[in-house]
Structure 1
Amino acid sequence: MGKIVVSEHVSLDGVVQDPTGEEGFERGGWFLRMSAGDREAWAELALAEARGADALLLGRRSDDWFAARWPARTGEWADRLNGLRKYVVSATLDEPRWSNATVLGGDPVEEVSALGRDVDGDVVVYASAGLVRTLLEHDLVDELRLVVHPVVLGAGRRLFGDTTTHLRLVGVRTVGDDLALLTYRRP
Structure 2
Amino acid sequence: MGKIVVSTNVSLDGVVQDPDGQEGFKLGGWFDQFTGEDRDAWAEILTDEALRAEALLLGRRSDEWFASRWLDRSGEWADKLNTMPKYVVSTTLEQPRWGAGAVLSGDVVAEVAKVKQEVEGEIVVYASYQLVRTLIEHGLVDELRLFVFPVVLGRGERLFDGIDDKLPLRLVGVRNIGVGLTFLNYEIAA
Please indicate the TM-score interval, normalised by the length of the shorter structure.
over 0.9
Partners of 2:176 and 2:148 in 1: how far apart? Answer: 10
Partners of 2:154 and 2:14 in 1: how far apart? Answer: 9
Check if 1:84 corresponds to 2:88. Answer: no
Give the secondary-structure state (helix, strand or coil) at the position aligned to 1:25.
Answer: coil
The aligned residue for residue 28 of structure 1 is 28
Check if 1:45 corresponds to 2:45. Answer: yes
Give the secondary-structure state (helix, strand or coil) at the position aligned to 1:72.
Answer: coil
Give the secondary-structure state (helix, strand or coil) at the position aligned to 2:152.
Answer: coil
Check if 1:96 corresponds to 2:102. Answer: no
Q: Normalising by structure 2, what TM-score? A: 0.96
Instruction: Name the Cα RMSD after superposition.
Output: 0.9
The aligned residue for residue 167 of structure 1 is 169
Partners of 1:77 and 1:180 in 2: how far apart? Answer: 21
Q: Normalising by structure 1, what TM-score? A: 0.97
Instruction: Tell me which amino acid in the other structure corresponds to 2:3.
Output: K
Instruction: Tell me which amino acid in the other structure corresponds to 2:170.
Output: R
* Deviations 1:119-178, CA, capped at 9 Å, x for gaps: 000000000000000011111100010000001111111000021322111111111111
Aligned residues: 187
Query: 1:135-150, aligned counterparts within 5 Å?
Result: 135-150=135-150
Instruction: Tell me which amino acid in the other structure corresponds to 1:153.
Output: L
Partners of 2:97 and 2:30 in 1: how far apart? Answer: 26
1:35 CA drift (Å)? 4.5
Give the secondary-structure state (helix, strand or coil) at the position aligned to 1:111.
Answer: helix
Structure 1 gaps of 5+ residues are: none
Instruction: Tell me which amino acid in the other structure corresponds to 1:172.
Output: V
The aligned residue for residue 9 of structure 1 is 9
Partners of 2:89 and 2:98 in 1: how far apart? Answer: 13
Partners of 1:48 and 1:186 in 2: how far apart? Answer: 21
Query: 1:93-132, aligned counterparts within 5 Å?
Result: 93-132=93-132
Partners of 1:116 and 1:101 in 2: how far apart? Answer: 14
1:5 CA drift (Å)? 0.4
* Deviations 1:83-135, CA, capped at 9 Å, x for gaps: 10110011222222111121011111111111111000000000000000001
Check if 1:180 corresponds to 2:150. Answer: no
Partners of 1:108 and 1:57 in 2: how far apart? Answer: 11
The aligned residue for residue 67 of structure 1 is 67
Instruction: Tell me which amino acid in the other structure corresponds to 1:2.
Output: G
Percent identical pairs in the alignment equals 61
